[in-house]
Structure 1
Amino acid sequence: MAPKDTESSTVDLSSPAPHVAVITLTSPPRNVLSKADQSRMRKTLTYLDDDPWVRAVVITGGGNFFTAGADPTEDEAVQPGQLRNFLSDFDTLLDSIERFRTPVIAAVNGPAEGGGFELALACDIRVASTTAYFDAAGVNIGLVAHFWRLARITGVGKAKDILLTGDRCSVEQALRWGLVTRAYAPEKLRSEALSLAQRIAGNAPLSVEATKRCTGVALDVDRAKATRLRAAEFATLFQTLDHKEALRAAATRTPGKYHRH
């Protein structure tokens, strides 16, 4: 795992289970991400992405808050000529999560507000505490929230309901609308998120990564291109030793021992 950042502990990295990394945002009370924190998080993700040992990542918040995204005190200091770079920096962080090699799980332990909502949307899977909520507050502060990921997940109609009202989205509503797939009591969220990550990490890693790549573009390609993409990935995976090991593990109902070849 990456060494701890000696300058800051606001982006904490741990590995509580084999092949699983956990990134915890610890900048109380709202776990905001300053420019420096965003840079540290991008570096952490790059480090993990380059480490083949890592097969699943969990992102969560410290305390009772997931994250409120970018630091509002830095927002207020931005000049009009700096806006493009200001937005690009945070978008780069979101893209690095979305394009990460392995699945990334958001364990939403509390409020996910503003950019924190967008950060959760960039993850592959979202699980939440029953005390969490999601807040796309763009219209509430006279701005526009990032609409692209939300509309792809919930559909345009539900996204407009969330974005145009600026109302908080409860966990119950998030479950109904597909924003989260599972909800747990606060004291169980971390262990359940880790269990989910371990379940994913126990599968053949090349297959998991190919599946993430394919589903990541599913809404952007037509059926013919999707069929060609599946065939190409299938052909590559079919020839791997990990495929043979997965067959053996399934037949014997024992854990697979995978070596990424």
Structure 2
Amino acid sequence: MTATLELDRPKPGVAVITFANPPRNQMSADALVAFHDILDELEKDLQVRCLVITGTGSSWCAGADLREERGQTPEQLKAHADSRASFGTLIGRLETIRFPVIAAINGYTIGGGMELALACDIRVGCEDAVFVCAGVNVGLIASWYRLPRAIGLGPAKHMLLTGDKFDADWALRNGLITALYGASSLLDESVKLADRIATRAPLSVEATKECSAQAFELSSESAAALHTEKFLIMAASADHREAVASFFEKRPATFLRK
């Protein structure tokens, strides 16, 4: 935990990371490293089965702190591109981390913040959420890979090429977020969603996240082979037997990750 990041565990299996660097919740290099440190802690704890990321004030996240990048040469930027102080490294890690990640978007989501949100498995928002693909506004390029996959090429180009603001209703209509809550209930509803995920069979949840991330890249033959591989592993697991038993016995399941 740092002055700009807060970690909470509101329910068994659920963790919440809050951006706490108002007013824009930008991420300095030190904050990015600290975020990785928190993820290290959560990933080692096999009881953690879902993560919610939210923000304070009027922003979710405005991406990296451009004041730090302003004086750096292209060579310097390239040198730390793969380090824990790089925004791109954090984005890639969230996509592939063991447990599902929910973005509970409470306000402005700008530039690198958009990339971070797109790396989350599920995005929900409140009526105060605003989305900006700011690459063209600051002479950079961002979100062109993940955004079209999330909402389709036409709406994505509208966001990417204009750098304009898009509100929560637009985001909901176009699939950028999948649920819209009141500002006061956003975090509670997001934790409820995370708790639902955390109480499913964990090996199955993790395999489903891993496989669905590859859905747009695999041929039908490769997808079928991957499905068979993972399905047979799940079918042989004690957690599968427990899930079936709890269904017929009408009781909550107790999963052991095996």
TM-score tier after normalising by the smaller chain length: over 0.9
Measure, in 2, the Cα distance between the counterparts of 1:21 and 1:83.
Answer: 32
Q: For the Cα contact (< 8 Å) 1:78–1:86, is it kept in 2?
A: no
2:133 to 127, 136, 158: 136
| Residue equivalent to 2:9 | 15
**Structure 2 SS opposite 1:258:** coil
State whether structure 2 residue 81 is matched by structure 1 residue 81.
Answer: no
Q: For the Cα contact (< 8 Å) 1:32–1:71, is it kept in 2?
A: yes
Q: TM-score, normalised by structure 1?
A: 0.95
Kindly provide the amino acid, as one letter, of the partner of residue 123 in structure 1.
Answer: C
Measure, in 1, the Cα distance between the counterparts of 2:247 and 2:57.
Answer: 39
Q: Counterparts in 2 of 1:1-261, with a 5 A limit?
A: 5=1, 8-85=2-79, 87-88=81-82, 89-261=86-258
Q: For the Cα contact (< 8 Å) 1:94–1:119, is it kept in 2?
A: yes
The offset of 1:87, in angstroms, is 4.6
Kindly provide the amino acid, as one letter, of the partner of residue 224 in structure 1.
Answer: E
Measure, in 2, the Cα distance between the counterparts of 1:102 and 1:222.
Answer: 25
Q: For the Cα contact (< 8 Å) 1:70–1:115, is it kept in 2?
A: yes
The offset of 1:86, in angstroms, is 5.0
Q: For the Cα contact (< 8 Å) 1:24–1:59, is it kept in 2?
A: yes
Measure, in 2, the Cα distance between the counterparts of 1:199 and 1:180.
Answer: 18
Quote the sequence identity (%): 44
Quick check: 228-237 or 42-51, which moved more? Answer: 42-51
1:158-213: CA deviations, max 9, x gaps? Answer: 21111001111211111111110001010010000000000000100000001101
The offset of 1:259, in angstroms, is 0.5
Measure, in 2, the Cα distance between the counterparts of 1:28 and 1:167.
Answer: 22
Quick check: 89-98 or 142-151, which moved more? Answer: 142-151
Kindly provide the amino acid, as one letter, of the partner of residue 146 in structure 1.
Answer: S
1:25-62: CA deviations, max 9, x gaps? Answer: 10111111000000010121122112111000001112
Unpaired runs of 5+ residues, structure 2, are none
Runs of 4+, deviation exceeding 6 Å: none
Q: For the Cα contact (< 8 Å) 1:127–1:181, is it kept in 2?
A: yes
Quick check: 73-82 or 188-197, which moved more? Answer: 73-82
Kindly provide the amino acid, as one letter, of the partner of residue 29 in structure 1.
Answer: P
Q: For the Cα contact (< 8 Å) 1:125–1:180, is it kept in 2?
A: yes
How many residues are treated as equivalent by the alignment? 255
Measure, in 2, the Cα distance between the counterparts of 1:128 and 1:151.
Answer: 19
Q: Aligned-residue CA RMSD in angstroms?
A: 1.2
Measure, in 2, the Cα distance between the counterparts of 1:166 and 1:255.
Answer: 47
Quick check: 153-162 or 235-244, which moved more? Answer: 153-162
Kindly provide the amino acid, as one letter, of the partner of residue 158 in structure 1.
Answer: P
Measure, in 1, the Cα distance between the counterparts of 2:38 and 2:250.
Answer: 35
**Structure 2 SS opposite 1:24:** strand
Kindly provide the amino acid, as one letter, of the partner of residue 210 in structure 1.
Answer: A
Q: TM-score, normalised by structure 2?
A: 0.96
